Amino acid sequence: MQRWLLLLIAMVLLVFCQRVAYAQGNDDYILSQSYYSDKTNALTFAEVQTLAFTPYQGLLTGGFSQGAYWIKLSVRADPQNLVLKIRPSYTNEIQFYDPTASGKPRVTGSIYPMVNDDIEANSFNFVLSPSASNRDVYLRIKSVSSYLFYVEAMSMSAFERSERTDNFIYMGYVMLTLILAIWLLITWLMNRERVIGVFTVQQFLAFTHTFIKVGFARTYLDLYVSAELINAISNMVVVFYPLVALTANFLLFQEYGLKKSFRYGFFALMVWSLGINATFMSGAEVLALTWNVKFVLVMMAGFALCSLRGTDPSEALESSNAVQLKVLRFFYCINFIVWLIALLPLLGIISTGTVALHSLFVYNMMSSIVFFILLSYRARWLLKHEVARTSTLQAEASQERQRREEQGMLMAMLSHEIKTPLSVLKLVMDQKVAGSDLEGHANRAVSNINFIVNRCLQLGKLDAKAIQLNPTSFSAKDFVSALLQDIQGASRVQTDIPDSLVLSADREILRLVLNNLIENALKYSDPAQAVQLNMLMHSEEMGRRIVFDVRNKVGVLGVPDPDQVFKKYYRNTQATKVTGSGLGLFLVHELVGVMGGEVSYTNENDEVIFSIWIPA
């Protein structure tokens, strides 16, 4: 890809150099040329003919002005038709006055359709009729853009050759910017990286700007889009483009640890650019475009300064390793010098001859190419880094999955090995200590060990995501009655459950949830107070759902922390006096989530309330 780009660039630059040499060495038919600046924008042709004009050669650089420019051309006699070729192709209005001709002046410009031109071509033009003697003709120029003006007089055949050459150069500009934009878009679609995304928008704006400014929009869209709309879009792109470029470079510098003071500098430039856009939208086009050129110069200087002094390597992101900072410093410094040479003629400060007609496009093209190469290299580095990171994460995930599987196998083995002796121990104790004072303590000890083992098994299933729902329909009241028979101290539990309430849920998971909540309430509540279990059906727009809550009075061990209550291994500082694993409420929260429901905890009126809803 880069090889073909370099070949295209070489061809365009070769033809460009030949075109410039031809323009400078061509002995055209213009004997002399001079200008007059009409700051009032109100002089008539008759009045202008009496004024003194200032001679100039080659390219006229008048900067931005609210007024108009009059050009006086002394044209050599020739028995054939001559053509005045006028560039650049974004001058708004050009009127042609011939003192020897009668009638209205002929007019062309970017705000007029191409069919008005004497010759339908990419460049503005006027055909001069044959003349036996030298003569003077006049041009009146009006534009909201910078007053760059270059005119040639040539034969018809020379005009056609010149147009072919210019169109080849301009097509090279346009195709190159389009190729770069499409390639950046493809790069962005491959990794969806923010910096490349904004630079892609910038490059498409560069393509639009080039396509319109070289005159192709007027040439190829003349029958479909009005010249006024094309001209308006062109100026909008000119003032909006720097804001996008500023945003793109700001995001890039952020990765290199942009210092706080320079960050504020970027924000100030963004406000300035937004002000320019607002000025343009208000109708003050000349003022907005003038300040826009100055803004671009300041912005480019800011980029160079930021690359030299505005970054903190200690705050840089890992992605900054893709393109070394010293490479960006070299690029931004050279880029500033290049744009300085390209933009100063637009302000009328310096003149670079006919090179200025192409310099903005050439410099824009060259900076786009360099940035494209840097961003492509950066994208490849990020992709390579992401692939390596993904491979590492996959390896870690595989190791973690293997560890969990081994942990699950260990828990299953331990539970089997522990539960068998527990059953034997329970049988022996029932025979040996039955009826004695030790019976209650022994049974509670065995129950506690069994309880912790069951919790660990449930936790292992959650970690391994091995829980599968098996919903069935069953009576809520019968379900709770059977559940309470297996809970020690269940005589303290009071229930409020409609006889007709039917649940549709995974019976085993719901049993684990309620078992944990009820045992938790019995364990930590006031022993002299009852525990309340309520169940009811709610019908809402989202569908029916079962809501139940478990309530108990606050005991001597206090209340749990609402921010920690559902976290794994959390236990109230006072609760350490009671046997527990810190897994019960965590399991409740996770198991309810598996069923597609929610659980909440509140503490009001000296009462602890756990509320749960699940789909009916």
Evaluate if residue 242 carries a pLDDT over 60: yes
Q: What is the percent of the chain with per-residue pLDDT over 70, rounded to a whole number?
A: 80
Tell me which of 26 and 73 has the higher pLDDT: 73
Strands 531-540 and 493-496: parallel
> What pLDDT was estimated at residue 426?
61
Q: Measuring CA to CA, which residue among 149, 261, 170 is closest to residue 212?
A: 170
The 10s digit of each residue's pLDDT in 454-464 is 555 555 555 54
> What pLDDT was estimated at residue 258?
92
pLDDT band, very low/low/confident/very high, at 90 (cuts 50, 70, 90): confident
Evaluate if residue 351 carries a pLDDT over 80: no
Strands 30-38 and 68-75: antiparallel
> What pLDDT was estimated at residue 584?
78
- Cα(25)–Cα(212) distance, integer angstroms: 29
> What pLDDT was estimated at residue 2?
47
Neighbours of 609 (CB within 10 A): 17
> What pLDDT was estimated at residue 522?
86
Q: Is 34 exposed, middle or buried (0-12, 13-18, 19+ CB in 10 A)?
A: middle
Cis peptide bond N-terminal to 55, omega within 30: no
Evaluate if residue 376 carries a pLDDT over 70: yes
> What pLDDT was estimated at residue 14?
46
The 10s digit of each residue's pLDDT in 499-550 is 888 888 888 888 888 888 888 888 888 888 889 999 988 877 666 788 889 9
> What pLDDT was estimated at residue 24?
43
Among 11-15, 43-47, 154-158, 380-384, the minimum mean pLDDT is found in 11-15
> What pLDDT was estimated at residue 417?
53
Name the token pair of 259: 């210092």
> What pLDDT was estimated at residue 605?
79
> What pLDDT was estimated at residue 19?
47
Tell me which of 451 and 563 has the higher pLDDT: 563
Evaluate if residue 412 carries a pLDDT over 80: no
pLDDT band, very low/low/confident/very high, at 404 (cuts 50, 70, 90): low
pLDDT band, very low/low/confident/very high, at 16 (cuts 50, 70, 90): very low
260-268 — which CB contacts under 8 Å span 24+ positions?
261/310, 262/306, 262/309, 262/310, 262/311, 265/302, 265/306, 265/310, 266/302
pLDDT band, very low/low/confident/very high, at 306 (cuts 50, 70, 90): very high
Name the token pair of 329: 């410093």
| Percent helix, percent strand, percent coil in the chain, to nearest 5 | 55, 20, 25
The 10s digit of each residue's pLDDT in 102-123 is 888 999 999 998 888 899 888 9
The 10s digit of each residue's pLDDT in 577-598 is 666 667 778 888 888 888 888 9
pLDDT band, very low/low/confident/very high, at 137 (cuts 50, 70, 90): very high
> What pLDDT was estimated at residue 59?
87
Tell me which of 436 and 372 has the higher pLDDT: 372
Mean pLDDT of 323-336: 86
pLDDT band, very low/low/confident/very high, at 8 (cuts 50, 70, 90): very low
pLDDT band, very low/low/confident/very high, at 315 (cuts 50, 70, 90): confident
Mean pLDDT of 41-57: 93
The mean pLDDT value of the chain amounts to: 82
> What pLDDT was estimated at residue 536?
87
Report if pTM > 0.85: no
Evaluate if residue 299 carries a pLDDT over 90: yes
The 10s digit of each residue's pLDDT in 253-296 is 998 999 999 999 999 999 999 999 999 999 899 899 999 999 99
pLDDT band, very low/low/confident/very high, at 324 (cuts 50, 70, 90): confident
Mean pLDDT of 201-230: 89
> What pLDDT was estimated at residue 581?
62
> What pLDDT was estimated at residue 86?
92
Mean pLDDT of 181-185: 88
Contact between residue 73 and residue 136 where contact means Cβ atoms under 8 Å apart: yes
